Structure 1
């Protein structure tokens, strides 16, 4: 089989690489740039190229282009560390969610700001003590007249400190099984009662935040989709999140740096390079399969699991071949790559842990029986 890209996709890849390198030259390179590289200026550049919403329907202002084109473009951006984070969540999942479940009024109000790169969104999903179990969330929204009144707390909410809107996953009723009663509501971040506290992680990244909602009032027409029946909406959103190229090449620049300084005459090093090169190709094929609609439902869990574990192997390889330079901070480049190595444990946690991904794959894709409860 011929896995080479065609003429048009090759031209897109070259153009994307040129734009990405220009962005790095202007704004600097960032490891895991889809979540650490925040620049509204560069998002406007992406918008001018037609690379935000490029797969969205033309009737909603999008490019109407096949998903494989977005994958090709995004791979170049993330591989070199171009700062795409300001528009990434909106492009990847919130825009498609509004197109699928939002009202015409919501689409007309919120999609243009996403497409122009001017508006940043965060996702209020994870909560303290809830882990990866979305159905256990406790942030509530109660109806009072023409408003929802929201109370609760979210954590690991990337970009909450700079976002204009939060796409909030909350509970509007406690009746029925845990996955029932979940709703999605758009919350402007400047609404009274919203408090954001940035969380500084061990690598000094500060994109994670905890967000507190204290009787936050938003209009009832900010509800997206069906009240109390948004669990499947959120699961569809996670399909967009877990099967993308960002889960494979977030630390590609670290790999390239490690190759520059390693001893390729060592057969063990050559063997590890071969294993990682094979991993990149397999991961890319899994992502392409998602983009081409060839994967079964729920298979993005397997794609994420494979790709993020590959990223951790990349970090282990870099630490091995860089030796003391991995922690010595001799140059700014050394500092950046030491930070990238320290960040690696996060890959298999954020977006759903690998153990949760394997459970999803076993139960929902392979149809394996659940382990019976004891007691």
Structure 2
């Protein structure tokens, strides 16, 4: 198998590296930039470069480019710490979901703003008592004529305070099994009845939010896909979320900093670096398989598990290399204390292992 890059791909990587370096010079370096580096201006720049919707079909306004191109650009942007968060969710999930399940009117209304970088989206998924167990969610959307009336609460909603739209996962029917009766509805965030409360995490970031919906009235035409049958749609979204390059490269900038300062005369340090470099290469292969759709269905759970646990190991290496300096409160230490979130966001490692065992390997469930 040939794992080398073509001249065109090498040129794209060089361009992405240059754009990333310029963005960091102007906007600053952001740890975990796909979720912590928010800049609407840079999102507009990404749109003008055609780097949003790179792989979407051209008939929907996308670039129609090979999936590997997006991986190359994303790897360079995130590794450098360029602030891509304002466009990342919509590019990664909302656009592909609307292309697959949305109506022509929805596609015409929402895709252009995503592609240009003008609109930011958040995902209303987790709830206070429904984290990794998505089927237990209770936020309701009741039909009232030509509208849905929505009541409930979401939590850990990244960019809820900045987003123009919320892609809401909610319950429209309570009579069936837990995974039945779930629907997806697009909600403009300026709709009356929405209250957003930012949550300050231990890094002082405030992108996580609680979002409360009280008699929020949304046109029924904002329903995406089939009412009450969106669980599979949401699972398809999570395949995009869990198997991407963002789950591998989040703290690569900190790794490069620590590697340059590491005492490589120590064979134990060299062994640690070798292990991290090897695992990064393996992680990239796993992500490439997901990107090229060569992995089995559901295998993104294994990819996310491996890659995010690699990111935890990177944080440990950075902390051990910097020693006492890592305890100073600066952008490096903020990046380090963020590390436990890698194996939680998008589904915990325990849940990922359950998915891998039950859905991919076909192992029997433990008797209860």
The bucket for the TM-score relative to the shorter chain is over 0.9
Deviations 1:262-296 (A, max 9, x none): 11100100000000000110000000011111100
TM-score (norm 2): 0.99
In the other structure, the counterpart of 2:18 is 18
For the pair 1:213 / 2:208, whether they are aligned, the reply is: no
What CA distance in whole angstroms lies between the structure 2 residues aligned with 1:262 and 1:95?
42
1:103 aligns with 2:98: no
Q: What secondary structure, in the 3-state scheme, does the structure 2 residue paired with 1:281 have?
A: helix
State the distance in 2 between where 1:44 and 1:321 align: 37
Partner residue in 1 for 2:300: 300
Q: Return the match for 1:349 from 337, 344, 362.
A: 344
> Could you tell me how far 1:372 is from its partner in structure 2?
1.4
Report the Cα distance in structure 2 between the residues aligned to 1:186 and 1:221, rounded to whole angstroms.
Answer: 9
Per the alignment, residue 163 of structure 2 pairs with 163
Alignment of 1:206-355 (within 5 A): 206-329=206-329, 335-355=330-350
CA distance in 2, matches of 1:86, 1:343: 19
Cα shift at 1:66: 1.3
Q: Secondary structure at the match of 1:323?
A: helix
**Counterpart of 2:182?**
182
Quote the offset at 1:45 in angstroms. 1.0
Structure 1 residue matching 2:186: 3-state secondary structure: strand
Give the CA deviation at 1:44.
Answer: 1.0
Total equivalences in the alignment: 368
Regions of 4+ moved over 2 Å: none
2-structure distance, mates of 1:158, 1:236: 19
- The answer for the alignment partner of 2:112 in structure 1 is 112
Question: Structure 2 CA distance, aligned partners of 1:192 and 1:227?
Answer: 23
Q: 1:114-133: CA deviations, max 9, x gaps?
A: 00000000000000011200
Aligned mates of 1:197, 1:169 — CA distance in 2: 19
Question: 1:318 and 1:272 mapped to 2: Cα distance?
Answer: 11
Distance 1:166 1:92 in 2: 15
Residues in 2 aligned to 1:291 and 1:328: alpha-carbon distance in whole angstroms = 38
How big is the shift at 1:146? 0.8
Deviation of residue 2 (structure 1)? 3.2
Hey, what does 2:172 align to over in structure 1?
Answer: 172
Separation in 1, partners of 2:18, 2:359: 41
Residue 141 of structure 2 aligns to a residue in which SS? strand
Distance across 1 between alignment mates of 2:297 and 2:328: 45
Secondary structure of residue in 1 paired with 2:347: coil
1:85 Cα deviation after fit: 0.4
TM-superposed CA distance for 1:3, in Å, is 1.6
> What is the root-mean-square deviation of aligned Cα atoms in Å?
0.6
Residues 1:134 and 2:129 aligned together: no
Q: Are 1:63 and 2:63 an aligned pair?
A: yes
In structure 1, how many angstroms separate the alpha carbons of the residues matched to 2:317 and 2:205?
Answer: 22
5+ long unaligned stretches in structure 2: none
Q: Distance in 2 between matches of 1:336 and 1:180?
A: 44
Task: Report the secondary structure of 2:95's partner residue.
Answer: helix
Which residue of structure 2 aligns with residue 196 of structure 1? 196
